Amino acid sequence: MYTLNRNALINLLIIKSNFMSWSILMNSILTVHSKCRVGFYPRSNLKRFPVPDDKVDWSTEYKQYNPPNYTFPGLHGKPYADPEIGDPNFEPLWNSIDGNISRVSYNGPYQIVNGFPLNPLGRTGICGRGVLGRWGPNHAADPIISRWKRLDNGNMAVGVNNKPILQFIAIKRGDTGEWAIPGGMVDPGEKVSETAIREFKEEALNSLSLADKIQWEKEIDEFFSEGEVIYQGYVDDCRNTDNSWIETIAYNFHDESGLTVGLLKLHAGDDAVGVRWVDITPDLKLYASHTEIVSSVLKLRIKN
């Protein structure tokens, strides 16, 4: 048994996504967002301006709309953060690859109004950049690591519908307390790196003997070479604003036998306060749009 670190998992996900071509099972795009329209904005005391369902779309007139403007002060000067719009040295190439930054949305071209990108799913009740580093799309990568739930004797566990129970690795977020896919933001100019692969192997296999390391490295390489794109598009995230939003590509890596990542000894890292294998059930509740994304894995793996 070996240990999986969250950062190592994200690094390997990005590495493999750069190396390989994937078959896309689902490329559905949300048609309405809700989690980013309610309550107070994260890391602030600002309450979102009310946005009724029939006033979300930008094409719908909403003369009373007067959202507060907020950009988290801690973003200023950070290497991963854009300057303020209006800065004479900031000339972003919207809807394009801008140097080593992708400002392309998976949802297609987004509007630019008065120099500001508009959230493609409509109003959120707050404008500005919020706590996000980029104006416009902020790209993430989400690995969904799955296995079949097994009994102590090794047989597959079955649910009330007499179908096998699928599990995935979930982390408990420290900021909201919700369970989520252990994903992360893609760094600018993220490239394939043999060094990152080596670091992952050193960290994940550090406790094994040399002979065991050689065997596990081969199995890990094979396992992470067989991923499928489950979703790419907009994420209904509480951090989204009228001018900045999160998009993701979610990959499923499935351990059919349960003898590779299915044997992982899990440890939480970064901003997570917990990590575990979670049953994928119809009543599963997760952070942001993760419920819908994870549910698509269930449809892929369990045929009617």
Query: Terminus-to-terminus CA distance in the chain, angstroms?
Result: 34
Sequence-ordered list of residues with C-beta below 8 angstroms from that of 58, at least 6 positions apart, any chain: 111, 118, 122, 123
Q: Band of the pLDDT at 58, cuts 50, 70, 90?
A: very high
The sign of the torsion formed by the CA atoms of 192, 197, 198, 200 equals positive
94-145 pLDDT per residue, tens: 999 999 899 999 999 999 999 999 999 999 999 999 999 999 999 888 888 8
Is the pLDDT score of 264 beyond 70?
no
Is the pLDDT score of 205 beyond 90?
no
Identify the pLDDT of residue 204.
37
Identify the pLDDT of residue 179.
87
Q: pTM, whole model, 2 decimals?
A: 0.79
The full DSSP string for 140-187 is EEEEEEEEE-B-TTSPBPB-TTSSBPEEEEEEEETTT--EE---EEPP
Average pLDDT, whole number, for the chain?
A: 80
Identify the pLDDT of residue 160.
83
148-187 pLDDT per residue, tens: 999 988 899 998 888 999 999 888 877 778 888 877 777 7
Sole residue written with tokens 């269930």: 298
Q: Band of the pLDDT at 196, cuts 50, 70, 90?
A: very low
**Can you list the domains of the chain with their CATH numbers?**
3-301 (3.90.79.10)
Identify the pLDDT of residue 97.
94
Q: Band of the pLDDT at 88, cuts 50, 70, 90?
A: very high
